[in-house]
């Protein structure tokens, strides 16, 4: 074989190896998503932020065509969140139950439930090494954003089942902004008995209506969106003295809320709650608030674009 043939063979082997590594990463991610949607289990986890730790009890069960999921924040006595297929219900003491259309519970990591093809448009998946985590072999999986303004993720997955054991949300400098850690997991052979009554229970139907397509046009405009984001429809503003305009932005995985309110004559404010940025920009007659998992600089650009 001549030198040119050797080079061509080397290039083909190199690209083949990269392709297999990429496939391996996405195969691990698919196993992770399947584990939280197909298994019966009871788990506990904590969400760790710089100044806050929240703990939850999580049950999941599949029976026939029905998928049920129950989440109970342990710091909020009496609060219960239930998902039955594509509807999520919130129950709290001395308050009417609320129902929403959603295929996942927002308090759980969105990565575990969102469409794989969309995530592949935003991230590269690379499998790392295997380490010990809580006495189990854990496969590291790195999701690196193609756009540096988008948060990155490191996932540690149980080697035997693919179940997520830990998820770190990373900032632009690869520093952990937020950490999700499973503290207990108990697989079950059968549908959890405690979820059985919810299979046939008469649950509330007070789901908010879809936005009215005939909502009057607002004089305010949002003139810039981050790369990959688009505006989703939101309900019409019913309290003009409190909210003048609002937008909901999404890249298919993350959501950013933008609110415009009458000015409170306060200075600009910016801070982070874990992976979530809260940014307030005062203008001459109104204040713009941006809330979501974006950098402070991106939040500032969104707020400044409101005209």
| Domain regions of the chain by residue span | 3-200, 230-304
d(CA 218, CA 221): 7
What pLDDT does 54 receive? 94
What pLDDT does 239 receive? 54
What pLDDT does 93 receive? 85
Q: In order along the chain (307 residues), what is the average pLDDT of each group of 10 residues?
A: 37 36 82 96 96 94 95 86 94 84 92 95 96 92 94 97 97 92 94 93 69 59 93 65 86 94 89 93 92 95 94
d(CA 55, CA 180): 10
103 contacts 113 by C-beta, under 8 angstroms: yes
* 3-200 and 230-304: identical CATH topology: no
What pLDDT does 285 receive? 87
> Could you tell me the end-to-end alpha-carbon distance of the chain, in angstroms, rounded to an integer?
66
What pLDDT does 8 receive? 37
CATH 3.40.50.720 fits 3-200, yes or no: no
Superfamily of chain region 230-304: MucB/RseB, C-terminal domain (3.30.200.100)
d(CA 299, CA 249): 12
Distances, alpha carbon 106 to alpha carbons 49, 131, 230, in Å: 17, 29, 19
What pLDDT does 155 receive? 98
Which tokens sit at 284? 């001459």
What pLDDT does 211 receive? 52
255 contacts 102 by C-beta, under 8 angstroms: no
Q: What angle do CA 94, 96, 98 make, to 5 degrees?
A: 135
Which tokens sit at 270? 């910016």
3-state secondary structure of 94: coil
Q: What angle do CA 301, 304, 306 make, to 5 degrees?
A: 120
Q: Are strands 255-262 and 80-84 parallel, antiparallel or unpaired?
A: unpaired
d(CA 97, CA 204): 7
- The pTM assigned to this predicted structure is 0.84
């Amino acid at each position: 074989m001549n030198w040119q043939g050797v080079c061509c063979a080397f290039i083909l082997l190199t690209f083949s190896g990269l392709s297999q590594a990429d496939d391996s990463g996405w195969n691990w991610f698919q196993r992770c998503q399947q584990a939280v949607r197909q298994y019966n289990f009871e788990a506990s986890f904590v969400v760790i932020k710089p100044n806050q730790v929240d703990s939850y009890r999580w049950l999941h069960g599949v029976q026939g065509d029905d998928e049920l999921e129950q989440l109970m924040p342990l710091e909020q006595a009496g609060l219960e969140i239930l998902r039955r297929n594509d509807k999520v219900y919130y129950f709290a003491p001395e308050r009417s139950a609320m129902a929403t259309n959603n295929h996942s519970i927002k308090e759980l990591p969105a990565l575990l439930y969102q469409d794989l093809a969309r995530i592949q448009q935003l991230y590269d998946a690379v499998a790392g090494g295997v380490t010990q985590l809580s006495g189990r072999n854990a496969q590291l999986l790195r999701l690196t954003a193609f756009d540096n303004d988008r948060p990155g993720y490191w996932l540690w997955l149980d080697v035997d089942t693919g179940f997520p054991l830990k998820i770190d949300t990373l900032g632009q400098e690869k520093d952990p902004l937020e950490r999700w850690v499973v503290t207990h997991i108990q697989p079950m052979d059968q549908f959890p008995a405690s979820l059985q009554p919810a299979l046939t229970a008469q649950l509330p139907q007070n789901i908010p209506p879809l936005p009215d397509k005939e909502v009057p046009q607002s004089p305010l405009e949002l003139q810039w969106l981050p790369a990959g984001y688009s505006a989703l429809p939101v309900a019409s503003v019913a309290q003009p003295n409190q909210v003048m305009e609002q937008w909901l932005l999404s890249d298919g995985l993350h959501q950013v809320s933008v609110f415009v309110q009458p000015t409170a004559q306060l200075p600009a404010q910016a801070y982070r709650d874990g992976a979530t940025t809260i940014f307030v920009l005062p203008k001459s007659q109104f204040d713009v608030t941006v809330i979501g998992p974006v950098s402070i600089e991106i939040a500032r650009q969104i707020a400044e674009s409101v005209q």
